[in-house]
Amino acid sequence: MVNERRNRIPQLWLWVLAGAALVGVLWFVVAVAPSLLIGSPPQGLSAADELKARNDVRATLVPALAGLAVAGGLVVTYRTYRQNRVEQDRTYERELYAKAVEQLGHEKAPVRLGALYSLERLAQDKPERRQTIVNVICAYLRMPFLLRAPEPTATGEQREPDAETETRADELGDTWRQERQVRLAAQRILAEHLHGDWARGQRSTDPPSSRFWPDIRLELGSATLIDFNLEKCMMADTDFRGASFSGPAMFGEASFSGSAGFDRAVFSGAAMFGGVTFGGDAMFGDAVFSRTAGFTRTLFRGAAGFDKVCFGTFARFAGATFSGNAGFREATFGRDARFDGATFRGNADFDRATFSGNAGFRGATFSSDEAVWNFGRSRVLRPDLQHVWPTGLRLGPDGSGGYTVVRADNGLDAGLKPEEPPAVGTAGGA
């Protein structure tokens, strides 16, 4: 209502100014213009000739004035039409957005699915609304969802499923499957418009593809995500803290221009981050990787936080680059931990980390003379397996009957005391 009043005020003043201008021009044509054109007083003209000359001037200027008035009216009318059209479009957008958001809560899955596609079309047409609509889609994905179809609850002393129970189970299963498809569609919409191929490979003078939505933030903390795929996508800040990834989580070659939060996330399938660029801090504290955690050739421009992470089977960091500090404090590595060829430009902290299987740091290097390895109080549960530790470090006793990573210049019989953290090496090794 306030905006409508503001729009009416300029239109009113525009008509007032147009009327005043018309009156002024009319006065000029009738009173001033004849005297300017024939001279005042007229030279060599009788009174009759002077009157005729003045009337001729007026007869010539009046049609021109009428034409100007018509043109001015057309301009004002066009401006009014454009403003009304813009206001109608805004009203339509507001109504479409409100209706689509309301339909996301509809009990019928096809209605919810249609609402998602309506929001997608609106975001595609109106770039200024994209982040808001992405926020709505993320909020929908954050709604609770069971990874398995619910089963009907038996009542009374019923032990064997009857026809009614089976029918109820079919209904619940169908509802669950439909909701699963709606959620997969919401994920596909995000992936479709964040895909980096729409933006990559263009010259600076080329207009960006209309399919790509730049600088989008994702807020998917605590969301349940199914077969999630953001490969080659480009995003700004992202929040996946506490998210549950059912099935594979594919982020290969994606780009995060801002911070990326995966703290407490649970990955039930393979989590593939190979070739990803983290432009800001990448935080995975307390995350759980049930299967392969792939960070091969990943670039961490900010801090990389993997404190207290549980790597269930394979942890792949071969060829990764850590530009900031890399924290793996109290992390648990399962079957295989590979950091072969990794580059550390900051400190690498593995304090109290546990290695249950093979550990490989072949060719891992520091690019800073001030950076240090820290394997203090780390534990190696299987010393009989194949281990390749960073230059200047090796496997040795921890002073309490177990094994840890120690500096290479400490003898096997050194009997290191627990209060003397042994495995802190400089960039050169020992």
pLDDT of residue 413: 34
Does the pLDDT value for residue 327 go beyond 80? yes
Confidence grade of residue 68 (pLDDT, cut at 50, 70, 90) = low
- Give how far Cα 363 sits from Cα of 211, 326, 342, 343, Å: 42, 17, 7, 9
Does the pLDDT value for residue 7 go beyond 60? no
pLDDT of residue 419: 37
Q: Under DSSP, is residue 66 helix (H, G, I), strand (E, B) or coil?
A: helix
Does the pLDDT value for residue 379 go beyond 60? yes
Residues of the chain above pLDDT 90, percent: 56
Does the pLDDT value for residue 54 go beyond 70? no
pLDDT of residue 414: 33
374, two tokens: 């820290």
Least confidently predicted of 140-149, 221-230, 278-287:
140-149
Confidence grade of residue 95 (pLDDT, cut at 50, 70, 90) = confident
Q: Which residue has the higher pLDDT, 193 or 419?
A: 193
pLDDT of residue 430: 34
pLDDT of residue 60: 65
Residues of the chain above pLDDT 70, percent: 67
354, two tokens: 């546990």
CA distance 328 to 351: 7
Q: Under DSSP, is residue 138 helix (H, G, I), strand (E, B) or coil?
A: helix
Q: What's the burial of 255, exposed, middle or buried (CB within 10 Å: 0-12/13-18/19+)?
A: buried
pLDDT of residue 43: 57
Does the pLDDT value for residue 285 go beyond 60? yes
Does the pLDDT value for residue 12 go beyond 70? no
Does the pLDDT value for residue 204 go beyond 60? no
Secondary element (H or E) of residue 218: strand 218-219
Secondary element (H or E) of residue 332: strand 332-333
- Give how far Cα 30 sits from Cα of 27, 65, 67, 88, 397, Å: 5, 11, 16, 43, 111
What is the pLDDT averaged over residues 286-311? Answer: 98
pLDDT of residue 161: 57
